[in-house]
Amino acid sequence: MSLWQSISDQLRGEIARGKWPPGTRLPPEAELAARFGVNRHTVRHATRVLADEGLLYSRRGAGVFVAATPVDYPLSERVRFHRNIELSGKVPGRTIDAIMTRPAGDAEAEALGLEPGQPVHVAEGVSLVDFKPVALFRSIYPAALVPDLPAALRQHDSVTQALRACGVADYQRLVTRISARTADAVQAGKLQLEPGDPLLRTEGLSQWQGQMVERALTWWAAERVTLTLPHQLS
């Protein structure tokens, strides 16, 4: 792990544990650099990443500050459902309705950079927060890249862990598309909503070492979740 990553993780932990409450100013970059025994650029790299995530913001001449607003479901470049939910102090969960392997459709093939008809794993289920349903998901993976994923998904609680078991260590979200639809009867039933209630639909494409590894479709119960986008401050 790179230096800036470990510094970034350490600061994130300190902020989470309340060592730096919202609104407080962090020590100056030079001081942090001395504390971690690195160059000031390395500290800047670490704080820039945290600013990307929305935890920090910087003001030229003034300092680097801890952001005030806690977020609900941050869509940052590394989207991890379990970790996101755990960080907000709730209990993540998941049920799986179906896991299958079948030829890719046209849209799926294009999204994943495959030829139509090549095999993909598909997992469908419900995401839970504090044991209540918040979202339906349908995730699609190239079978050639992660042949043993179906077994791994059954074995592990989180997608991140299952992918790691298949050798995909650190995938990153390339893009997220957001739209909204109303729930049909089936969706409403699974999410304990009424038909016609609004759903947030996200389509996320994730990459690992230059290859597309996941196309994740998620339908969120809009009344139970707010997606937040932390933006960077350059």
| Partner interacting with residue 75 (select from DNA, a second copy, none; CB below 5-8 Å by kind) | a second copy
Binding flag, residue 180, a second copy (CB under 8 A): yes
Show Cβ contacts of residue 200 under 8 Å, excluding neighbours closer than 6 positions.
Answer: 178, 179, 180, 219, 220, 222, 225, 227
Binding flag, residue 17, a second copy (CB under 8 A): no
- Contact flags string 5-44 toward DNA, x per CB under 7 A: x--------------------x-xxx------xxxxxx-x
| Partner interacting with residue 89 (select from DNA, a second copy, none; CB below 5-8 Å by kind) | none
Distance separating the N- and C-terminal Cα atoms of the chain = 24
* Count of CB atoms situated within 10 Å of the CB of 16: 12
Rounded CA separation 70/51 (Å) = 13
Choose which of 177, 185, 186, 192 interacts with a second copy (CB under 8 A): 177
Shortest separation between residue 121's beta carbon and a second copy, angstroms: 22
Choose which of 18, 62, 98, 131 interacts with a second copy (CB under 8 A): 62
Choose which of 182, 187, 208, 217 interacts with a second copy (CB under 8 A): 182
97, 102, 198, 228 from 53: Cα distances, Å: 32, 36, 27, 10
* Enclosing H/E stretch for 129: strand 119-129
Binding flag, residue 67, DNA (CB under 7 A): no
Chain centroid to Cα 177, Å, comes to 13
Q: What angle do CA 116, 120, 124 make, to 5 degrees?
A: 125
| Partner interacting with residue 52 (select from a second copy, DNA, none; CB below 5-8 Å by kind) | a second copy
Q: Give residues in contact with DNA (CB under 7 A).
A: 2-5, 26, 28-30, 37-42, 44-45, 58-64, 209-210, 233-234
